[in-house]
Amino acid sequence: MNHKTCTIDGRECFIADAGQPQYILIQTLGNHERGIFDSTAALISEACGVPFVLAAFQVFDWDLDLTPWHDDAINRKPEVGTRTGETLRYVTASLLPALEAEYGKLPVILGGYSLGGLFALWSSAQTDRFTAIAAASPSLWIKDWLDFAQAHPVQAAKVYLSLGDQEEHVKNRSIARVGDSVRGEYELLKARLGQENCTLVWNPGGHFQDGDKRMAAAFSWCIQALGSQ
């Protein structure tokens, strides 16, 4: 695969592509993703065998950039919950046009891990710009998530959810509700999209485990699901 690092409208981006892509994959680039970006791209390529471009964009502040509304359990800073719209505008108004200018207009899969997965699902409720959502271990323990999801359904055609089977078994009560929230989200997705257009995968282990494998599995499922249409 070809790898490059560039700056697009003020944010550093990691980009990997192989040949003439059939899909545009977008994900967040936090400190954790920087170390696993190459392996994530390689695992996707091995799993699906379909050419794609994977672009990861810089997240300046993980909580501020990706949290859609304020929750003290995530971060007590009052400004948390005010910048997520700006992050989404960056993706739709800066990053995507730059990628499409180089690779053409292709199906777009927005993905992310943890708060990145939360951001991806929230973004799909704001716009129909994304064909599929790849949410690996999304932080759906944010307060009132299911109320929001009920009132603001995703607009993507395919959605992948995953969670570690130990993520809900923690002492922190706020984080422990992630299991019920993810199950509830899956039920909403099945009702809206149909069971064949969404999935919920349970992975062994806790939250901070096999991030590259979980993210690659999420993107790969979306590619395969879209290809089977």
pLDDT at site 221: 98
All structural domains of the chain, each given as residue ranges with its CATH number in brackets, are 2-227 (3.40.50.1820)
Reported pTM: 0.95
Percent of the chain whose pLDDT exceeds 90: 79
Q: Is the pLDDT of residue 74 over 80?
A: no
75-124 pLDDT, tens digit each: 788 888 789 999 999 999 999 999 999 999 999 999 999 999 999 999 99
Higher pLDDT, 5 or 73: 5
Q: Is the pLDDT of residue 229 over 80?
A: no
Q: Is the pLDDT of residue 168 over 90?
A: no
DSSP string, the chain: -EEEEEEETTEEEEEEE-SS-SEEEEEEE-HHHHHHHHHHHHHHHHHH---EEEEEEE-SSHHHHH-SS--TTT---TTTTSSHHHHHHHIIIIIHHHHHHHH-S--EEEEEETHHHHHHHHHHHH-S--SEEEEES--TTSTTHHHHHHHS----SEEEEEEETTTT-SS-HHHHTHHHHHHHHHHHHHHHH-GGGEEEEEESS-SSS-HHHHHHHHHHHHHHHHHT-
- CB 193, CB 159: distance < 8 Å: yes
